[in-house]
Structure 1
């Protein structure tokens, strides 16, 4: 479905730029060596953007009364307000052009969660903070798929993030033209089995949302739909849900497969369900049968190809 260029925001240090406090970087091999073949990156280093030098003293989040500073360990040089202002500007001026964002974990400016907040004396901390820049990006763009570099080492979270990026890009393409119930319904039908694999109830609820629309406010309908879709896809699909989805797909071939072929497919699905083989094994078999026995409805299902095959994301889940 997706054709135009996908743009993803990324913390500049993850792109290999030497912008960290120690003049180093934290290059993400997955982002820069694999995913970069399919996307363009817009790089951000909020700390440099607000005037901090390279190299520079470390900064941390420090709780002072009811406020939180982003400052040096001695409490000086608070850049919290500048980081917030910069984050708001990027969130409102550029983030709408992005289809995802990869943040640097543990950073007081870019971390998505569990950032250490120190007490004023520097003798203790809690891990409850959010990076000041990342917070603004996520606050002003709640549907934007966001992830941290460390979490992308988890194959399930990596696959889920990339899938959501491509889904969101497809939605952005759809919204380039006037929205209508017909176009929304077509979009929903293409995501039927991907939704089923992640959240069957959400699939039913979103279908009902479209089916009961009274024609009053299509823009509101579109907003409600994409909010529900992105929320449903945020949790990685379980083996149980994927297996049930594969069984649904198997039903399309019950009249065209011989007894041996049916058993082979059932066995592949069962082996996946039991954790003996990755998802691509039964899925490849289903796609083979689809090629031999074409089905126009199934051909349009995003579930089969939610992102480029050469990323090999289903080899590890």
Structure 2
């Protein structure tokens, strides 16, 4: 937006004040009185004001009669021609100055417009720079988050490897658990349902715990050998359960961990299909270790 310029009235008032103070209203004097403003604009208004002023009569001293007689009419003619030429040159100079003042005002307006555009571009540049800094910070945060997820995924994979090592030891317990397979079938079914519903309400978990405690009570009369086998099986199940919990937490972090978990479950299901005596449920395993009391049929609670 162009700044407010000096008006003609302001220039005319200052020029008249200078004349009243018996000073010549020059461009510099008017500019000093105003204190601000474009020299081109002040010159244009001052020229307009000067053109409207009546020339003051010149006071000439009384010429010497002898000199006046000598010069005569020729000197008057030369003086008139010189004055006419001077007035013509002055008018031409004033016209050129007016044109220059007009061009100067246009240049000043263009300068002000360019200054405003530069200010807008600078502001836009600063805004873009701020957004770039924010995007760089966000990218750095995402990199750190990705690194953290990779570390967590590596931990899950290590836990999976440990679980597989523990699961490899399960087949050597199958011979010791042969007498428990009948009752294990029912407990295995209950445990599978409990595993799939691990996120349900506390009441369901309490019911599962009560069932497990009842199973442990029924298995309390098992022999020392069965107790040792149950302990090893419980440790294997605890490691398996810890791995399942870590895999559940890593579901949203890495698709690769989910794939490995599915492979592990598929492997365990294949073992159950090949060996009905599979020990995926520690509670069921412990119940199978205790043979049913005399007079009761296997598989009935």
Q: Could you say which TM-score interval applies, normalised by the shorter chain?
A: under 0.3
Give the TM-score normalised by structure 1: 0.16
Give the TM-score normalised by structure 2: 0.17
Q: By percentage of residues, which structure has more strand? A: 1
Which is greater in Rg? 2
